[in-house]
Amino acid sequence: MRGKMTEELQERIAGAQMVLVGIGKEMEDPAAGLSEDPFYRKLMRRAEEEAEGENELLALQQYIRLHYLRRHADSDRRNAYQRLSGLLKDKNYFVVSLCTDDLIFSSGLETGRIVTPCGGFRALQCMETDQESRPLCRTDQEPLVVCEEVWNQVMDDLDRCEGEIDKVDFPVCAECCHLLAFNQIETPGYREEGYLSQWSKYKQWLQGTLNRELCVLELGAGMEYPMVIRFPFEKIVFFNQKASFFRVHSRLYQMTEELKGRGISVKADPVRFLLSGFESQG
């Protein structure tokens, strides 16, 4: 059944002029082993002891999560992304992703065709905020620190620290000396500069889909931030009579009344779905 679905999807994508992909939280690496692994449990416990306040704890947890993601590759998930990349090869596509695990950036998909409005692990920012969570730290420098060596160094330190997180040298803000956190949506004072230029590129690309043969593929996008993928995608398909729509989700796969007959619902985990039918893609 699923193999048939993926075959149909392959055909639709092959015949489409443009392909819009939305990636939701079901595609995100849950870092599931983190809470069972003694090394990470110790790190987490020491982070709670060492952190000064909630913000610092959140930042430390982000570094620990990144370490886990880097050192424990989820091969199924990576293969699923590679299948997606193969599927979109040579197509005019754009991907909107809610995931913050950055797996998509090592999938072979073009960075210039991806927007991640929830951020990820590609920049650091200061977390000093006022009571309404607005950024407080004023600096003449760029608000985002985009320098991979900085957090790669932290990853190496974590490798060697034997769970003693106070032995690790974490980067701090050059202006106010607060611990730097990753540019992610749950970071207090989230700096949206991190994705806005890609977002306007996406909006422009969307305008070009009007009256084109468009294939829309939604992978595991449930009700987290439905204004980013789920609702606008439904609207796009509704107004574009030449659009086809695939909604893949393990629980929230249902199609709205207006789109019944035009959209295809697939009740499946999106990772399993991508792995199920594209063997020929390699």
Give the footprint of Zn ion on this chain (CB under 5 A): 126, 128, 137, 173, 175-176
Residue 133, amino acid:
S
- Burial of 62 per CB tally in 10 Å (0-12, 13-18, 19+): buried
DSSP H helices in 173-261: 193-207, 230-239
CA distance 119 to 59: 14
34 or 126, CB closer to Zn ion? 126
CA distance 178 to 60: 12
137 or 206, CB closer to Zn ion? 137
Pick from 192, 194, 193, 247: nearest CA to 223: 247
Pick from 80, 94, 69: nearest CA to 6: 80
CB of 50 vs Zn ion, minimal distance in Å: 20
Distance, CA of 133 to chain centre: 23
76 or 175, CB closer to Zn ion? 175
177 or 223, CB closer to Zn ion? 177
86 or 171, CB closer to Zn ion? 171
CB of 68 vs Zn ion, minimal distance in Å: 27
Q: What totals of helices (H) and strands (E) does the chain contain, helices first?
A: 8, 9
57 or 137, CB closer to Zn ion? 137
Distance, CA of 131 to chain centre: 28
CB of 62 vs Zn ion, minimal distance in Å: 16
Burial 163-197 (b: 16+ CB within 10 A, else e): eebeebebbebeeeebbbbbbbbebbbbbeebbee
CB of 179 vs Zn ion, minimal distance in Å: 9
57 or 206, CB closer to Zn ion? 57
- Partners of 126 in the β-ladder: 180
